Structure 1
Amino acid sequence: MSVASPPRLSAAPRAPKIVEERLLRYPDTASRAMMSRRGWWLVLLNFLVPGSAQSLAGNRRLGRFALGATILMWVLLGLALLVALLSPTAGLSIVTGAWLPDWLAALRPAPLLLIQVVLVAYGLLWIVLAVDTLRLVRLVRTGAAERFGIALLAVALTVASAGSAAYAASAVGTARDTIGAIFQSTGPVVQPSDGYYNILLLGADSGAGRDSMRFDSISVVSVDAATGATTITGIPRDMPHFPFSEGPMQDAYPNGHEGHSDPNCGWGSGINQLRTEVEVCQDGASLYPDAAANGSEPAIEATKDAAEGILGIDIPYYVFIDMHGFASLVDALGGVDITVEKRLPKGGGPSYEGQPVDEWATGWIEAGPQHMNGDTAQWYARSRYTTDDFDRMERQRILQQAMLAQFTPQTVLTRFQDVAAAGADIVKTDLPQSLIPFLADLALKAKELPVKTIELTPDGGIDEFDPDYPYIQELVRTALHPPTPTPEG
Structure 2
Amino acid sequence: MITPSITYHEFQGGNDALRNPRSASERERTKRACILTLLTLLVPGGAQIAVGSRGLGRIALAVTVGCWFTALLGLAMYFTMRSVLLGALTQPFVMWAGSILLAGLAIGWFILWLDTLRLIRIGQLPKGFKPILAVVTVALMVLTSGGLAYAGHILNEGRQALAGIFSDGAAMAAEEGRYNFLLIGADAGEGRQGLRPDSIHVVSVNQSSAETIIFSIPRNFQNARFSEDSPMREVYPNGYNCGNECIINFLYTEVHNSYSHLYPEAEDPGVEAMMDAASGTLDLRMHGYVMVDMDGFAELIDAMGGITVESEGWVPYRGRHPETNQWGDRWFEPGTLELDGDDALSFARSRTFSHDYARIQRQQCVQQAMIGQFSPQTLLTRFTELMAAGENLVDTNLPQSQLGSLLDLAAKAQEHEPQRLTLGAPDFGRSGELFSTYPDFDQIHTRVDELIAREGQGDDDNGADDAAEEQPQPDPAPDAESDEAAEAPGTATEPPGPTPEHSDEAVAGDEPDAEPSAEPGEATQPDGSPLTELYLIDAQQRGEIGVLEEAASGNGDCSPAG
Fold shared by both chains (TM-score > 0.5)? yes
* Whole-angstrom CA distance in 1 between matches of 2:210 and 2:394: 22
1:221 aligned to 2:170? Answer: no
The superposition leaves residues 272-328 of structure 1 with CA deviations (integer Å, 9 ceiling, x where unpaired) of 101121112x140x2111212xxxx10001111111111111112111111122111
Which residue does 2:75 correspond to in 1?
81
Which residue does 2:519 correspond to in 1?
none
Which residue does 1:249 correspond to in 2?
232
* Whole-angstrom CA distance in 1 between matches of 2:252 and 2:394: 18
**In the alignment, residue 255 of structure 1 is paired with which amino acid?**
N
1:459 aligned to 2:426? Answer: yes
1:141 aligned to 2:100? Answer: no
* Whole-angstrom CA distance in 2 between matches of 1:327 and 1:421: 12
The superposition leaves residues 39-70 of structure 1 with CA deviations (integer Å, 9 ceiling, x where unpaired) of 11221111111122223334232222222222
Which residue does 1:479 correspond to in 2?
451
Answer yes or no: is the 8 Å Cα contact 1:323–1:378 preserved in 2.
yes
Unaligned runs of 5+ in 1: 1-12, 98-108, 261-266, 349-358
Q: 2:84 aligns with which of 86, 90, 94?
A: 90
Answer yes or no: is the 8 Å Cα contact 1:36–1:147 preserved in 2.
no
The 5 Å alignment of 1:10-409 reads 17=12, 22-28=16-22, 31-97=25-91, 109-187=92-170, 189-207=171-189, 212-246=194-228, 247-259=230-242, 268-280=245-257, 282-284=258-260, 286-292=261-267, 297-347=268-318, 361-409=328-376
CA drift of 1:181 comes to: 1.7
SS in 2 for 1:320: strand
Matched positions, count = 439
The superposition leaves residues 350-384 of structure 1 with CA deviations (integer Å, 9 ceiling, x where unpaired) of xxxxxxxxx98443322221111111001011222
Compute the TM-score of the two structures, normalised by the length of structure 1.
Answer: 0.84
CA drift of 1:139 comes to: 2.0
Which residue does 2:461 correspond to in 1?
none
Distance 1:55 1:482, change over 3 A: closer
Answer yes or no: is the 8 Å Cα contact 1:29–1:141 preserved in 2.
no
**In the alignment, residue 126 of structure 1 is paired with which amino acid?**
W
The superposition leaves residues 120-139 of structure 1 with CA deviations (integer Å, 9 ceiling, x where unpaired) of 11111111111221222222
SS in 1 for 2:16: helix
Which residue does 1:10 correspond to in 2?
none
SS in 2 for 1:199: strand
Distance 1:305 1:58, change over 3 A: same
CA drift of 1:18 comes to: 5.4
Distance 1:376 1:211, change over 3 A: farther
SS in 1 for 2:337: strand
* Whole-angstrom CA distance in 2 between matches of 1:209 and 1:367: 32
Answer yes or no: is the 8 Å Cα contact 2:181–2:203 preserved in 1.
yes
**In the alignment, residue 307 of structure 2 is paired with which amino acid?**
V
Answer yes or no: is the 8 Å Cα contact 2:161–2:388 preserved in 1.
yes
SS in 1 for 2:198: strand
Which residue does 1:102 correspond to in 2?
none
Answer yes or no: is the 8 Å Cα contact 2:49–2:58 preserved in 1.
yes
SS in 2 for 1:23: coil
**In the alignment, residue 169 of structure 2 is paired with which amino acid?**
T
SS in 2 for 1:232: strand
CA drift of 1:210 comes to: 5.8
Unaligned runs of 5+ in 2: 1-7, 320-325, 430-434, 458-562
**In the alignment, residue 454 of structure 2 is paired with which amino acid?**
P
Distance 1:240 1:215, change over 3 A: same
* Whole-angstrom CA distance in 1 between matches of 2:111 and 2:220: 64
CA drift of 1:211 comes to: 6.2
**In the alignment, residue 314 of structure 1 is paired with which amino acid?**
R
* Whole-angstrom CA distance in 2 between matches of 1:391 and 1:39: 67
Distance 1:484 1:110, change over 3 A: closer
**In the alignment, residue 97 of structure 2 is paired with which amino acid?**
L
CA drift of 1:207 comes to: 4.6
Answer yes or no: is the 8 Å Cα contact 2:211–2:455 preserved in 1.
no
User: Alignment identity in percent?
Assistant: 38
Which residue does 2:503 correspond to in 1?
none
CA drift of 1:229 comes to: 0.1
Answer yes or no: is the 8 Å Cα contact 2:194–2:253 preserved in 1.
no
* Whole-angstrom CA distance in 2 between matches of 1:481 and 1:201: 23
1:416 aligned to 2:416? Answer: no
CA drift of 1:22 comes to: 2.6
**In the alignment, residue 65 of structure 1 is paired with which amino acid?**
I
**In the alignment, residue 231 of structure 2 is paired with which amino acid?**
P
**In the alignment, residue 69 of structure 1 is paired with which amino acid?**
V
CA drift of 1:96 comes to: 3.0
Which residue does 1:8 correspond to in 2?
none
Q: 1:438 aligns with which of 394, 400, 405?
A: 405
The superposition leaves residues 379-416 of structure 1 with CA deviations (integer Å, 9 ceiling, x where unpaired) of 01122232222221111011111111111222222222
Distance 1:273 1:360, change over 3 A: farther
Higher mean C-alpha displacement, 389-398 vs 201-210 = 201-210
* Whole-angstrom CA distance in 1 between matches of 2:29 and 2:69: 34
